[in-house]
């Protein structure tokens, strides 16, 4: 079952701007992960943040996690046309090894 | 680099046909998964396997079965394809523990 919900569903920004998307979830987690999917392709792992971490960076990506609010955000700074994709959060519950994916945020970066 | 491959990128089948989707991973991962992805519904887990010959139902197993005879290969079987099984099918593998998951490129299946 889907646990994560992304917000917004879609986002359109100008090249060079920042893109922020949010993920909310319902139960306790071991970690939360973000994935990117280019049109018609498989998902690619971007970043994993564990439940005892609050913030993590990877290149132009910044992820925050607030376990008290059961929410996470993904920030892409200085966006490029190549960042156009769908972005999914996935939660890793403490009781099994299955990821639960949200429905995703579609990001369009305009040149 | 971990590689997950799927047997076909595009597949067109007729209603009632038996369909096999094959997935192979080359990193000795214990866990393998089959998802379907439909617009607005995100990824839904069909079946997963945590060891050879072991399988567990996901959220939407009806109309599907799976086979895992070897650690590197996980097959999804549509016993009698129906039009509502037209979808993008994604295979993934994952090592033991709480780690990232690696996805194949997907198979876009159309059932006519």
pLDDT at A1 over 60: no
CATH number of the structural domain spanning residue A59: 2.60.40.10
User: What is the interface size between A and B, counted as CB pairs within 8 Å?
Assistant: 55
Q: What distance in Å separates the CA atoms of residue B94 and residue B30, rounded to the nearest whole number?
A: 7
pLDDT mean over B65-87: 97
Amino acid A6: pLDDT: 87
- Any bridge partners for residue A36, and if so which? A44, A87
The SS3 assignment for A37 reads: strand
Q: Spell out which chain A residues touch chain B, with contact meaning CB-CB distance below 8 angstroms.
A: 1-2, 30-31, 33, 35, 40-45, 48, 50, 88, 90, 92, 97-99, 101-104
- Per residue in B10-69, pLDDT (tens digit) is 999 999 999 999 999 999 999 999 999 998 888 999 999 999 999 999 999 999 999 999
For residue A9, the 8-state DSSP code is S
Phi, psi of A2 (to 5 degrees): -80, 130
Residue A45 distance to chain B (closest CA, Å): 7
Nearest to A92 by CA among A100, A84, A102: A100
**What CATH number matches the domain at B4-111, 2.60.40.10, 3.20.20.370, 3.90.1150.10, 2.70.70.10?**
2.60.40.10
Phi, psi of A82 (to 5 degrees): -70, -10
Q: How many domains does chain A have?
A: 1
Nearest to A33 among B31, B42, B100 (CB): B100
**Structural domain containing residue A102:** 5-110
Give the model's confidence band at A2: pLDDT under 50 very low, under 70 low, under 90 confident, else very high: low
Amino acid B41: pLDDT: 85
Buried-state track B63-88, b at ≥16 Cβ within 10 A, e below 16: ebebbbeebbebbbebeebeeebbbb
- Per residue in A46-70, pLDDT (tens digit) is 999 999 999 999 999 999 999 999 9
């Amino acid at each position: 079952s889907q646990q994560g919900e992304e917000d917004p569903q879609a986002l359109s920004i100008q090249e060079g701007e920042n893109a922020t998307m949010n993920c909310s979830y319902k139960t306790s987690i071991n970690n939360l992960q973000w994935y990117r999917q280019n049109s018609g392709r498989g998902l690619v792992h971007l970043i994993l943040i564990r439940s005892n971490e609050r913030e993590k960076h990877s290149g132009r990506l910044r992820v925050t996690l607030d376990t008290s609010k059961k929410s996470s955000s993904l920030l892409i700074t200085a966006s490029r046309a190549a960042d156009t994709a769908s972005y999914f959060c996935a939660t890793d519950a403490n009781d099994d090894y299955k990821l639960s994916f949200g429905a995703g945020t579609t990001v369009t970066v305009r040149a | 680099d971990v590689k997950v491959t799927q047997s076909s990128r595009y597949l067109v089948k007729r209603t009632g046909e038996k369909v096999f989707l094959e997935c192979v991973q080359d990193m000795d991962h214990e866990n393998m998964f089959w998802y379907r992805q439909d617009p607005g519904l995100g990824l839904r887990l069909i079946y997963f396997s945590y060891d050879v010959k072991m399988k567990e139902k996901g959220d939407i197993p009806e109309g599907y079965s799976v086979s895992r005879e070897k650690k590197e290969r996980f097959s999804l079987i549509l016993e009698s394809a129906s039009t509502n099984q037209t979808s993008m099918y994604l295979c993934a593998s994952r090592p033991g523990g709480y780690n990232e998951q690696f996805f194949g490129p997907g198979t876009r299946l159309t059932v006519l």
